[in-house]
Amino acid sequence: MDHRKNIEVCFTPGEYEYFKDEYEIVVVIDVLRATSAICAAFHNGIKSIIPVATIEEAREYKAKGYLVGAERKGQIVEGFDFGNSPYSYMNEALRGKEVVLTTTNGTKALDVAKDADTVVVGSLNNLDALCEWLAEQDKNILCLCSGWQDKFNLEDTICAGAISEYLIGTGKFTSSEDSSIAAKYLYLSAWDRYMGFLKASSHRRRLKNLNLNEDIKYCLTPNLTNVIPILRDGKLVKL
């Protein structure tokens, strides 16, 4: 009998319904840029982040006096304090504070996964620390990619493939879904070419704000931090 736990990959929030309830841990991934920014926030001393799925909820928090970040289609939404650039969170004024965040893809994925036993935030920035922690948990794990406007994206998938490959390499995990097999292949075969392409491109997905190239380089750099953000009672906090 196989006592290994499962590590599987779901490509988009829309497909989560076909996976849920079988995994004790869900790793939400939005490499460009929400989960990278969330890791940067905790690395830089932010106390907690309340992820919300809609601009309306974000406005309600803003009206109550919260610091609120809101991003849609790569831009900071008018009237909000910041978007999802990791650099926004490297700000002394935010240390020790609670902030609210809504983004195009990442907070949507956090929202669909919120009823799982354990929801943690993954990115390339906290890859090794996250993998080491996951390997110790003895739980079934699902990597939930945020995608881009409900479609598959490569950077989240490659990140999920890297996590899968690490966990399977420990001998304690296995995967059987085709999406997981594909994510591993893409991690193993496409990493160098794709990451090079991404780093060189500032036109990706109409994200044309000035800092995008810097943001992309930051988000695609593995292991900048050891923080593992975890969802507790509707708030992200540092594990």
- Which residues are near a second copy by CB under 8 A? 11-12, 14-15, 18-19, 148-154, 157, 177-179, 181-182, 185-186, 189-190, 194
Taking the complex as a whole, how short is the minimal distance between the CB of residue 186 and a second copy, in angstroms? Answer: 6
Query: Is the CB of 32 or the CB of 131 nearer to a second copy?
Result: 32
Taking the complex as a whole, how short is the minimal distance between the CB of residue 194 and a second copy, in angstroms? Answer: 8
| Cβ within 8 Å of residue 100, ≥6 positions away | 49, 50, 51, 52, 58, 61, 62, 66, 67, 68, 69
The per-residue b/e assignment along 58-74, b for 16 or more CB within 10 angstroms, e otherwise, is bbebbeeeebbbbbeeb
Taking the complex as a whole, how short is the minimal distance between the CB of residue 174 and a second copy, in angstroms? Answer: 15
Among 44, 17, 30, smallest CA distance to 120 is for 30
Query: Is the CB of 68 or the CB of 216 nearer to a second copy?
Result: 216
Taking the complex as a whole, how short is the minimal distance between the CB of residue 181 and a second copy, in angstroms? Answer: 6
| Crossing angle of helices 212-219 and 34-43, rounded to 10° | 80
Taking the complex as a whole, how short is the minimal distance between the CB of residue 44 and a second copy, in angstroms? Answer: 30
**Residue 28 half-sphere exposure toward CB, CA atoms < 13 A:** 32
Q: Can you say how many angstroms the Cα of residue 211 is from the centroid of all Cα atoms in its chain?
A: 20
Tokens of 212: 């995008």
Alpha-helical regions (H) of the chain: 34-43, 55-63, 106-113, 127-135, 154-169, 178-200, 212-219
Query: Is the CB of 14 or the CB of 45 nearer to a second copy?
Result: 14
Taking the complex as a whole, how short is the minimal distance between the CB of residue 176 and a second copy, in angstroms? Answer: 10
Give the pairing of strands 173-174 and 5-10: parallel
Query: Is the CB of 138 or the CB of 178 nearer to a second copy?
Result: 178
Query: Is the CB of 11 or the CB of 23 nearer to a second copy?
Result: 11
Query: Is the CB of 15 or the CB of 60 nearer to a second copy?
Result: 15
